[in-house]
Structure 1
Amino acid sequence: MDFDQADAINQAIRLLSLRHRARAAALLAPLGLHPGQEALLLELARTGPMIQAQLSEALGCEPPSVTLMSRKLEASGHIRRTPAPSDKRASIVELTDSGRALADQVRELWRGLADETVTGLPAETVAALPGILNTLTANVDTRPPARARS
């Protein structure tokens, strides 16, 4: 691949990521959420209660980030954290009724954001996007760091 094509791909991915995150932030703000918190809510809605360390792994976030998000969501009454019976150092995180209602609102918001994002694309392309994007993510996740060339 030549540099111009590589640059076009990398720039497009970078811009999409920045703009998608900014749009998500604008949509989440009226719900009192910051980017990342919606993923935590949706993960708990999908899986049910889980240990905070498992939640960190499921979200692909560092444990301190999940701890901070959990504290904020707990303070706003959307989640509950309780000590795990088997390990008092671990916390089980679960949605409250308020959190479940908020997760439903986030699902609707997420549908709208996805619709906005793929507007104008053929249905076949939209259907293929999750697989393509997951492949790109896996490619980035599994590649060893590039070594400096002499």
Structure 2
Amino acid sequence: MDFEYADALNQAIRLLSLRHRARAAALLAPLGLHPGQEALLLELDRTGPMIQAQLADALGCEPPSVTLMTRKLESAGHIRRAPAPSDKRASVVELTDTGRALAARVKELWCALAEETLRGVPAATAAELPALLRTLTANVDTRPARDA
């Protein structure tokens, strides 16, 4: 691969990532959310209550980041934390009624952001993008492999 192509590809991915995050932040701000918090809400909405460590793994981020997000979302009344029945050192996180309502609003924003992002992209190409992007992500993932 020559440098010109590599540079164009890497720059395009970098700019997409930056612009997408900025656009997401702008859409989430009126809901009182910061980027990353929506992913936590959506994960809990998708899976139900889970231990913070499992949530960190599911989100692909470090446990201290999840701890900070859960504290903020808990103080806003969107989630609740309770000691895990099997391990009092671990916390189980779950959505509150307001958290479920907020997750529903986030889903609407996420659909709008996806439509905005894919504007002008042929339907066939758009259909292939999730799998392609998962492959690209796996190719650059430096996290240790999880035990299955």
TM-score range, shorter chain: over 0.9
Tell me the residue number matched to 2:133: 133
SS in 1 for 2:71: helix
- TM-score, with length taken from structure 2: 0.95
Amino acid at match of 2:50: M
- TM-score, with length taken from structure 1: 0.94
CA distance in 1, matches of 2:123, 2:106: 24
CA distance in 1, matches of 2:60, 2:139: 15
Per-residue deviation, residues 23-82 of structure 1 (Å, max 9, x unmatched): 000000000000000000000000000000000000001000000000000000000000
Tell me the residue number matched to 1:148: none
Tell me the residue number matched to 1:50: 50
Amino acid at match of 1:20: H
Structure 1: tracts of 5 or more residues without a match: 144-150
SS in 1 for 2:141: helix
Tell me the residue number matched to 1:60: 60
CA distance in 2, matches of 1:56, 1:122: 34
CA distance in 1, matches of 2:141, 2:82: 33
SS in 2 for 1:77: coil
Q: How far did 1:141 drift?
A: 1.2
What are the within-5 Å matches in structure 2 for residues 34-45 of structure 1? 34-45=34-45
Tell me the residue number matched to 1:81: 81
CA distance in 2, matches of 1:28, 1:102: 10
CA distance in 2, matches of 1:132, 1:94: 31
Q: CA RMSD in A?
A: 1.0
CA distance in 2, matches of 1:37, 1:100: 13
Tell me the residue number matched to 2:26: 26
How many residue pairs get aligned? The number is 143
SS in 1 for 2:33: coil
Tell me the residue number matched to 1:122: 122
Q: How far did 1:142 drift?
A: 5.7
Query: Structure 1 residue runs of 4+, over 2 Å off?
Result: none
**What percent identity do the matched residue pairs reach?**
81
Tell me the residue number matched to 1:99: 99
